[in-house]
Amino acid sequence: MEEEINNLCQSAFLKFVMDSRLDKNQFADVYRLILCLERTADYAVNIAEELVRLNTGMDIRHVSDPVQAIAKTAS
């Protein structure tokens, strides 16, 4: 999930870099917004991981496929 968000933010950044209609102040605002959105997504992932840990006792922070790992635990 984090990788998907990072890719979306990178693609948005590249889109706005190429937009010649933005002056430097507008670009700075958009850039800060993209960084804030990325950080918000990171917080959301951290909260979700902590909720899984509290509910299942399983630490999924460094698992390659958390959904599959949780499904194995549930069955």
**pTM of full prediction above 0.95:** no
Q: For residue range 29-71, list pLDDT tens digits in order.
A: 988 998 999 999 999 999 999 999 999 888 888 887 777 777 7
Outline where the chain has alpha helix (H).
2-17, 24-56, 66-74
* Rounded-to-integer distance, Cα 45 and Cα 7, Å: 15
Q: What mean pLDDT do residues 3-19 have?
A: 84
Task: Give residue 73's pLDDT band: very low, low, confident or very high (50, 70, 90).
Answer: confident
Task: Give residue 75's pLDDT band: very low, low, confident or very high (50, 70, 90).
Answer: low
